Amino acid sequence: MTRILLVEDNVTFRNALKEILHSRFPSMEILEAGDGKEALLCVKGSPPDLIFMDIKLPGENGFTLTSKIKQDHPEVVIVVLTSHDLPEYREAAFKCKANHFMVKGSPSSQIFDVIESISSTVHQDS
């Protein structure tokens, strides 16, 4: 089973994304974190397969968190998800070893495509 972690401080957006994901992938385990400390705790025990990472978070930002997580768990796929489609944000995301960069409000199909590609890889390795 694919495990996803949503790292997003905006509860309304996080809940909306969770509902969209559950509607398409009902058996998927979805973890949630509202800040960097919660995110690191979720990753520490049993890392998820995929993380949707907001950039602007209380405490540490999403770029710093992405670097930390990738250092200890390079196999975890991280999608930086932001409201701001700026070239410097894209560059920073990939510099931190994020696998993907998406803008909030992108078509759900883009998110589904990433999840389906991760899920097929996870199931092949099992």
Question: What is the C-alpha to C-alpha distance for residues 3 and 21, in angstroms, rounded to an integer?
Answer: 11
The ranges assigned to domains in the chain are: 3-125
Query: What are the phi and psi torsion angles at 120 (to 5°)?
Result: -65, -35
Question: What is the C-alpha to C-alpha distance for residues 81 and 74, in angstroms, rounded to an integer?
Answer: 18
What is the DSSP secondary structure assignment for residue 115, as one 8-state letter?
A: H
Task: Give the model confidence (pLDDT) of 31-55 as tens digits.
Answer: 999 999 999 999 998 899 999 999 9
- Is the pLDDT assigned to residue 89 strictly greater than 70? yes
Flag whether the pTM goes above 0.75.
yes
Fold for the domain defined by 3-125: Rossmann fold (3.40.50)
Residue 77 tokens read as: 């796929």
Task: Give the model confidence (pLDDT) of 59-85 as tens digits.
Answer: 899 999 999 999 999 999 999 999 989
Residue 106: per-residue pLDDT: 85
Residue 82: per-residue pLDDT: 92
Predicted confidence band at 126 (pLDDT cuts at 50, 70, 90)?
very low
Q: What is the rounded average pLDDT for all residues in the chain?
A: 91
